[in-house]
Amino acid sequence: MSTRAQIAIQIGPDEWAHIYCHYDGYPSHMLPALAHWTPDDILAAKEIRQVRVDELDCFDPPHDPPIFPRPTCEFCHLYVWQDGVWIELDPDAIQPERTLP
C-alpha cells in the first residue's frame, strides 16, 4: 500500500502547484528526504513516485501539477515550504482566504 502525499508550492498570489508523490508520503520519511530539495527542484519534477535524499524518482512522462488557490490536501499528507524549510501542513488549520507568507 502506498502512502500518497502532495507537495504544495506557492507560484503566485493565489496559485499553489500541487505535486503528487506516490510512495512513502508519511512525515518520518518525507520531511528528512524533502530537506535535500528546493521548491524549484520539486516543481521541475512535476509528478513524483518517491522523494529520496539522493534522488527524485519521477514519473516519465509526468502530468502537470494541478493549480489550486490555496494548499489543498487530497491524499494522506500535505507538505509546504515555509520559512526556508519543509513542513507538514494541517489543511484544516488554513482558512480559505488566508495564504502562507
Q: Tell me what pLDDT residue 93 has.
A: 63
pLDDT at 2: 80
Domain chopping of the chain, boundaries: 5-93
Amino acid symbol at 28: S
pTM of the predicted model, to two decimals?
0.86
- Given a contact cutoff of 8 angstroms between Cβ atoms, the answer to whether 93 and 71 are in contact is no
50 strand-pairing partners: 57
Tens digits of residue pLDDT in 47-94: 999 999 999 999 999 999 999 999 998 888 999 999 999 999 876 665
